[in-house]
Chain A
């Protein structure tokens, strides 16, 4: 499959300040490798921290707890990704 090297920047730039693109999932595909080579340290860090606990059924204060848990997991993931990029 052809690589959409021309498309990446354009598509990402259309996404607006808060990821305002629709639901087609074109801006980024999580956990994919680029170029078909060995998995990079970045990919490994992403995969190792890709489990974000998101409950299916919450209400009231449980929503806040769930969001806090999601944020904690995402913060951990971002830290790992940043470390891998250094």
Chain B
């Protein structure tokens, strides 16, 4: 079990709280549009984050796209496509997390931390963050830019995260 230092844990608590403040700022103006399903899903994400000490960025982003998209004039097609992409991104991120844990478990056994593997995982994590930023940017522009839906559809046709990223360029 990993024990972050007390100071690190406090910082994580602060970041989580800031994230929740950000969620509140986004949903408060459109609260009346939030149905029971999305309300429950949002509470489940917050409960999970409260238990684990972190949010799933992909799941949270997907929820926010679905909750805030309609009131921002984002099409249902874009919301559906972006949601699928965020599901894929979440799976990719979970795989990176899993391999990161395995890398440190191996280090505990062998006494040697595989730096090459760590660098590879850091690169892949960066790809996840780049894709997250690309989807977010596309979402922000989608209501006024019809080409964004085509980008999402192109990304959906890709089998690799590199391909998905390229679809947004």
Chain A residues engaging chain B, CB cutoff 8 angstroms: 1-4, 6-8, 10-12, 14-30, 32-35, 40, 42, 46, 52, 54-64, 66-68, 70-71, 74-75, 77-78, 81-82, 84-85
Contacts and interface: CB of A to CB of B under 8 A. Distances in A.
B42 interface: yes
B81 interface: no
A50 to B, nearest CB: 9
Contacts, number: 196
23 contacts: A6-B113, A8-B3, A10-B104, A11-B2, A16-B57, A19-B16, A20-B93, A22-B56, A28-B9, A28-B53, A56-B43, A57-B39, A60-B34, A63-B31, A63-B34, A67-B23, A67-B24, A68-B24, A70-B50, A74-B16, A78-B10, A81-B9, A85-B6
Given A25-B54, A63-B34, A78 B17 contact: yes
B97 A19 contact: no
Interface string B111-131: 001000010011001001100
B5 A8 contact: yes
A22 B94 contact: yes
A61 B43 CA distance: 13
A7 B122 CA distance: 14
Interface residues of B, number: 69
Interface of B: 1-10, 12-24, 27-28, 31-32, 34-36, 38-40, 42-44, 46-59, 90, 93-94, 96-98, 100-101, 104, 107-108, 113, 118, 121-122, 125, 128-129, 132
Contact of A6 (B9, B19, B31, B104): B104
A77 B13 contact: yes
A78 B14 contact: yes
Contacts of A57: 36, 39-40, 43
3 A-B pairs closest in CB distance: A28-B53, A25-B52, A7-B104
Contacts of B10: 78, 81-82, 85
B107 to A, nearest CB: 6
A28 B8 contact: yes
Given A18-B55, A56-B43, A71 B1 contact: no
A51 B43 CA distance: 15
A24 B98 contact: yes
